[in-house]
């Protein structure tokens, strides 16, 4: 019994020493990089990478760099595991930017419901995106779905103006489909309309690295960038339901 207590105490001290050492190491890296690379001063996290002696430095939420134990060198790029050719950097970023469907800011979207609306899909689209228009045509073939449409004007000032006009329309869904499917002009924006949701959508997209349109998010958290056809949409909706 005495030996067990001594062993437990020794193990606790050893773990505490390791934790203290790791904390000191991370602090040293933070200090060195902040001093030498001021633009990376706001470091979110420093942690050991898969390679001994190499540390991951995370900034701006999901930007990944690598450095040595003293912060003397800074590496930007992907780390691959040769066994299986896994892109460890990409996997890490995907994990950091994963979006739980139920946490989406639905108040900043409008909905389009078809059939019983039992299946759910969120889409980030720019009104000036040609691929989005192609995607919208395929989306018309999907039934029993609720689509949460997030206007995501990232292609230029004109995208913002068109998004504002659609968002401020009396019937957002009709205005959106008139523009995307029927090539009707975007309606004139209402005189009084709060368009801050559009800016919030852009900020949300930046934070979660939504870098192109359309970007689709399914209920199971699966993210699909790009215009996929109706058959692929159906498959993802089925998979999301398990």
Confidence category of residue 5, pLDDT binned at 50, 70, 90: low
Please tell me the predicted confidence (pLDDT) of residue 3: 46
- Co-location of 124 and 184 in the same domain: yes
113 and 212 together in one domain: yes
Q: 224: which strand partners?
A: 216
Mean pLDDT of 13-17: 44
Q: Using CA atoms, how far apart are residues 70 and 55, in angstroms rounded to an integer?
A: 10
Any domain includes 236: yes
In a domain, 6, yes or no: no
What's residue 237's pLDDT? Answer: 95
* Beta carbons of 191 and 179 less than 8 angstroms apart: no
Residue 8: Cβ within 10 Å count: 10
Compute the distance between CA of residue 82 and CA of residue 100 in angstroms, rounded to an integer: 30
Where b means 16+ CB within 10 Å and e means fewer, 12-34 reads eeeeeeeeeeeeebbeebbebbe
- Positive/negative CA dihedral, 176, 177, 178, 179: positive
> For the chain, what is the mean pLDDT?
87
Number of domains in the chain: 2
pLDDT band at 14 (very low <50, low <70, confident <90, very high): very low
pLDDT score recorded for residue 134: 95
Give me the numbers of helices (H) and strands (E) for the chain, helices first please: 7, 11
The whole-angstrom separation of Cα 63 and Cα 77 is: 10
Residues 6 or more apart from 160 whose CB is under 8 A from it? Answer: 153, 198
How far is 231 from 48, CA to CA, in rounded Å? 42
- Looking up residue 43, the CATH number of its domain turns out to be 3.10.450.70
Q: How much of the chain, in percent, has pLDDT values that exceed 70? A: 88
What is the CATH classification number for the domain harbouring 132?
3.40.30.10
Q: How confident is the model at residue 8 (pLDDT cuts 50, 70, 90)?
A: very low
Residue 143 CA to residue 81 CA, distance in Å, equals 42
Do residues 33 and 63 share a domain?
yes
Residue-range definition of the domain harbouring residue 193? 101-240
* pLDDT for res 209: 87
Query: What's the pLDDT at 22?
Result: 57
């Amino acid at each position: 019994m005495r030996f067990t207590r001594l062993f437990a105490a020794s193990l606790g001290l050893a773990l505490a020493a390791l934790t203290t050492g790791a904390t000191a190491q991370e602090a040293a890296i933070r200090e060195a990089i902040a001093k030498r690379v001021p633009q990376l001063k706001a470091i979110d996290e420093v942690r050991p990478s898969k390679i001994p002696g190499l540390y991951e430095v995370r900034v701006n939420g999901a930007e990944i760099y690598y450095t040595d134990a003293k912060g003397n060198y800074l590496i930007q790029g992907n780390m691959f595991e040769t066994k299986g050719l896994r892109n460890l950097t990409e996997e890490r970023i995907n994990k950091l930017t994963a979006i739980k469907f139920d946490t989406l800011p639905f108040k900043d979207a409008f909905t389009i419901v078809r059939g019983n609306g039992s299946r759910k899909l969120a889409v980030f689209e720019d009104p000036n995106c040609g691929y989005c228009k192609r995607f919208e045509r395929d989306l018309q073939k999907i039934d029993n779905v609720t689509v949460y449409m997030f206007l995501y004007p990232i292609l230029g000032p004109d995208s913002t103006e068109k998004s504002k006009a659609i968002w401020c329309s009396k019937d957002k869904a009709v205005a959106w489909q008139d523009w995307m499917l029927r090539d009707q002009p975007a309606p004139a924006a209402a005189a009084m309309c709060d368009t801050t949701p559009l800016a919030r959508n852009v900020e949300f997209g930046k934070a979660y690295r939504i870098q192109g349109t359309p970007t689709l998010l399914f209920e199971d958290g699966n993210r699909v960038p790009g215009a996929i056809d109706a058959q692929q949409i159906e498959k993802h909706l089925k998979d999301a339901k398990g």
